[in-house]
Amino acid sequence: MNEIASFCDQVGASIDDVRNGIALDPRIGSGFLSAGIGYGGSCLPKDLKALTHLRTTEGIESDLFKSVVKVNNKQRLLPLDALRKHFGGRLDGIKIGVLGLSFKPNTDDIREAPSIDLIRALVDDGAEVSAYDPQAIHLAERVLPSSVRLEQSLLACAKRARALVLVTEWPEIVEADWGEIASVVDPPMILFDGRNVLDPQLMTELGFQYQGIGRGRPGSVRSRVVQY
């Protein structure tokens, strides 16, 4: 789905419509058809590495497994690439708010979390990074660069940021008062939805320059959130 989402971005199509169409086939369903910023946690990354190693030791090529890992690693840095394009190069001195640190909602687990690699890359690119997570801050502060501001509230994280990146789809983030958030963000108010969980039209109406994954080119919002 991540590869198809990338293709959608190139041609201006909607991954939401593609997902909806594929899910009409009862043999497939919609449960695992989400494009996003990448997987994490302790299980799937470890299992893929183990399968790849086992096949290699048996003399069997593991092109598919290697490609899955490669695509996942690429997904983690999509926000960095998008922000560089928006700001015309490096992100020196630009405040970026990262929303969500754990690899999935309702846990403080940051093992293999996409947020960690992304934040490190943003800091290396010169950005001033603030971050918020309802549960994972105490663990994240041990592994993130000391320059990262770990905030206790979503509004504090967003305040004076010129761009926001939604990494973990916590209900506290997705269901927040985005009008209030918009009121504290500085122009150009870029919003990268790394989980495709926000309503593009609503975000645009609030003044954000919205970009999802596989939801068309930036500035050409054509899709809607599909409910299942």
Residue 116 sits in a domain whose CATH number is: 3.40.50.720
In a domain, 29, yes or no: no
Give the C-alpha distances (Å, rounded to integers) separating 114 from 10, 32, 78. Answer: 23, 18, 11
Dig out the tokens for 83 from the structure: 């922000």
Domain assignment present for residue 25? The answer is no
Catalytic residue among 3, 7, 10, 43: 43
Residue 63, strand partner residues: none
Length of the chain as a residue count: 228
Q: DSSP letter for 1, please.
A: -
**How does pLDDT run across 2-49, given as a tens digit for each residue?**
888 887 888 888 888 888 888 888 777 666 677 888 888 878 888 888
Domain count across the chain: 1
* Residue pLDDT, tens place only, 65-119: 888 888 888 889 999 999 999 999 999 999 999 999 999 999 999 999 999 999 9
Note whether residue 81 is domain-resident.
yes
Q: What is the reported pTM?
A: 0.82
Instruction: Work out the widest C-alpha separation in the chain, in whole angstroms.
Output: 58
Region label for 38, one of left (φ > 0), alpha (ψ between -120 and 50) or beta (otherwise): left
Domain boundaries, position 196:
76-211
Q: Are 128 and 94 in contact (CB under 8 A)?
A: yes
- Can 43 be counted among the known catalytic residues? yes
